[in-house]
Amino acid sequence: MLKHYRSLVEEWNDDQRSRQVNDVVFVTCEGIRSCWGPHQDLGYKCDAAYCFNNHVSRIIQHIDRAVYSIDLAIYAMSSDPIGKALHRASERGVRIRVLSERNFVRLMGTHARYMLIRKIPPPRIPTGREMMMHHKFCIIDGYQSQKELNPTNSDPKLSVYMSGSLNWVSHAKSCDDLLISSSPKVSKRLEQEFNRIWKGLGILPGQHPNIYNYKS
């Protein structure tokens, strides 16, 4: 037991040394209530700590810094500002892969051709019930992706992940949280799970990787 505890302490210390991004945001009823009216004015600049639009802006900041890859597993996505950020990333040559529950892929018109999207049909478990893909996590410039897209390791980038209960939607309808961090152990594990799911699915009908503006 003591040996196991020491190993956990060592791992935590390693994480502490290598972590360069560490943030958490919350969507609350108070924030939505206080910001709803003023945000009807598109030019309104809000500095509220719990402002939903500000949280979306923080997601976009990390999308805009992506160089190699964005891997997103999301239950529901309907935010046009995030769609535009993914559009910009693709035009920079970033590889974008999206996993979504089959009934909740949005942005299929304007921005979908810039992403490689795979819908997840719910698998049946022995009881006859269906399991729902309810993930909400994103890995930017993942370690494995950088090895694939930058094999010479000539320009390594910091891998950042975002994870929590927050769906990437236009308007918040629930209290949610979002953790943003560059902890390598968590980032690698999330990327491993993303790749496990991705490899078991097919491309949407009518879509082909050749239409994307990827570097490779």
Q: When comparing pLDDT for 118 and 67, which is higher? A: 67
The pLDDT tens digits for 64-99 are: 999 999 999 988 888 888 888 988 998 899 999 888
Which DSSP letter does residue 130 get?
B
Cα(34)–Cα(130) distance, rounded to whole angstroms? 38
Q: What is the pLDDT of residue 198?
A: 86
- Count CB neighbours of 91 within 10 A: 10
Instruction: State mean pLDDT over 150-173.
Output: 88
- Range of weakest confidence among 114-123, 139-148, 195-204: 114-123
Q: What is the pLDDT of residue 181?
A: 93
Instruction: State mean pLDDT over 33-42.
Output: 53
pLDDT at 4 over 80: no
The pLDDT tens digits for 162-195 are: 999 988 887 777 888 899 999 999 999 999 999 9
Categorize the per-residue pLDDT at 33 as very low, low, confident or very high, splitting at 50, 70 and 90. Answer: low
Q: When comparing pLDDT for 181 and 117, which is higher? A: 181
pLDDT at 122 over 90: no
Portion of the chain with pLDDT greater than 70, in percent: 60
Q: What is the pLDDT of residue 153?
A: 87
Q: What is the pLDDT of residue 214?
A: 33
Cα(16)–Cα(36) distance, rounded to whole angstroms? 38
Instruction: State mean pLDDT over 147-157.
Output: 91
Instruction: State mean pLDDT over 126-135.
Output: 70
Q: What is the pLDDT of residue 208?
A: 44
pTM here is 0.76
Cα(201)–Cα(100) distance, rounded to whole angstroms? 11
Cα(34)–Cα(27) distance, rounded to whole angstroms? 12
Mean pLDDT of the chain: 75
CA-angle at 121, arms to 208 and 146, nearest 5°: 50
